[in-house]
């Protein structure tokens, strides 16, 4: 941890993002601006692309953590970096009054997947394509689909603004992918029989390690995409799928991606990481 404060530039009041930049040694300009209160979704999405999560501390006044964490003390006018067992103020952004009271808000930055399952496959193919008119509709299987940059698959629920987890400007909602092998492992390792379509992902892949594409650019045929975050299974999906799906697909639920160029994809198209990125 450095002792020399970073220049605050035009974001001198964005003390949460400043503390995060200090902990991660990241460029402040790369971190989305922090929203008020607990709704720090944009920072959460940015962290997810790096296999990191923003975890709120339940009882911050008595919390202890050997590593760095972000806190706000009673009587202070901004966030500070905390550390230690017991924890104390480890770093204060320039111009911030840290406060002398108990910690009233705390956040830990940690990887949600300590060891992502990975395989050697560097390229694969599109096995199936699906789109869904809205969050509750049946799947429409496609042999080809039009991808619209920054939007999604033409006619899909997220492209139409009808997705269950729709959010304006949210990363990784344009396109979802899942490995056929992950669905097959549900049966062989967990006894859960479920067709790939029931995972409600847009693309089912074969012979490609999707986890390895998180945070990276990749090609589907001639279309450039960006792997934004893992598509972890959720309680909402568990309601419509066999018991055991949630546990079986943890860290194997696929990839959420953004679309960077327009064009047509087809079943059989090659999926490969972009070597230029």
CB neighbour list of residue 23: distance below 8 Å, 6 or more residues apart: 68, 70, 81, 109
Predicted confidence (pLDDT) per residue in 183-225, tens digit? 999 999 989 999 999 999 999 999 999 999 988 999 999 999 9
Q: Do 175 and 226 share a domain, yes or no?
A: yes
Average pLDDT over every residue of 112-137: 84
**Of the candidates 47, 75, 110, which is a domain's last residue?**
110
165: nearest Cα among 204, 128, 200, 198:
200
Q: Do 130 and 260 share a domain, yes or no?
A: yes
Q: Do 98 and 133 share a domain, yes or no?
A: no
Q: Establish if 146 belongs to a structural domain.
A: yes
Find the domain containing 31 and state its range: 9-110
Average pLDDT over every residue of 167-189: 86
| Exposed / middle / buried, residue 207 (Cβ in 10 Å: 0-12, 13-18, 19+) | middle
Q: Establish if 66 belongs to a structural domain.
A: yes
142: domain CATH number? 2.40.33.20
**Of the candidates 62, 84, 110, which is a domain's last residue?**
110
Q: How confident is the model at residue 35 (pLDDT cuts 50, 70, 90)?
A: low
**Of the candidates 110, 139, 172, which is a domain's last residue?**
110
| Exposed / middle / buried, residue 140 (Cβ in 10 Å: 0-12, 13-18, 19+) | middle
Q: How confident is the model at residue 12 (pLDDT cuts 50, 70, 90)?
A: low
Number of domains in the chain: 2
Q: Do 154 and 103 share a domain, yes or no?
A: no
By residue count, the chain amounts to 277
Q: Do 102 and 176 share a domain, yes or no?
A: no
Q: Residue 226 has what pLDDT? A: 94
**pTM to 2 decimals?**
0.71
Query: Greater confidence, 70 or 115?
Result: 70
Predicted confidence (pLDDT) per residue in 41-100, tens digit? 678 778 877 888 888 899 999 998 888 999 999 999 999 999 887 889 999 999 899 998
Q: Residue 13 has what pLDDT? A: 75
Q: Is 196 helix (H, G, I), strand (E, B) or coil?
A: helix
């Amino acid at each position: 941890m450095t002792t020399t404060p970073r220049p605050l530039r035009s974001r001198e009041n964005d003390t949460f993002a400043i503390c995060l930049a200090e902990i991660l040694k990241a460029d402040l300009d790369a971190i989305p601006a922090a929203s008020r209160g607990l709704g720090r979704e944009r920072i959460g999405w940015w962290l997810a692309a790096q296999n990191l999560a923003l975890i709120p501390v339940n009882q911050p006044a008595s919390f202890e953590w050997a590593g760095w964490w972000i806190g706000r003390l009673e009587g202070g006018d901004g966030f500070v970096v905390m550390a230690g067992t017991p924890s104390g103020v480890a770093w204060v952004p320039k111009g911030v009054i840290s406060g002398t009271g108990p910690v009233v808000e705390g956040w830990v930055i940690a990887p949600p997947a300590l060891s992502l399952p990975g395989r050697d496959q560097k390229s694969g193919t599109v096995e199936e394509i699906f789109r869904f008119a809205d969050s509750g509709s049946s799947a429409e299987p496609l042999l080809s689909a039009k991808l619209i940059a920054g939007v999604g698959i033409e006619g899909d629920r997220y492209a139409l603004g009808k997705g269950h987890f729709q959010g304006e400007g949210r990363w990784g909602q344009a396109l979802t992918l899942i490995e056929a092998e992950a669905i097959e492992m549900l049966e062989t390792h967990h006894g859960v029989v479920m067709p790939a379509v029931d995972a409600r992902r847009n693309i089912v892949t074969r012979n490609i390690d999707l986890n390895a594409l998180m945070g990276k650019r990749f090609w589907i045929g001639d279309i450039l995409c960006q792997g934004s975050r893992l598509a972890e299974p959720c309680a909402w999906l568990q309601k419509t799928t066999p018991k055991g799906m949630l546990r079986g697909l943890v860290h194997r639920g696929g990839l959420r991606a953004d679309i960077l160029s327009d064009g047509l994809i087809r079943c059989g198209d090659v999926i490969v990481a972009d070597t230029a990125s």
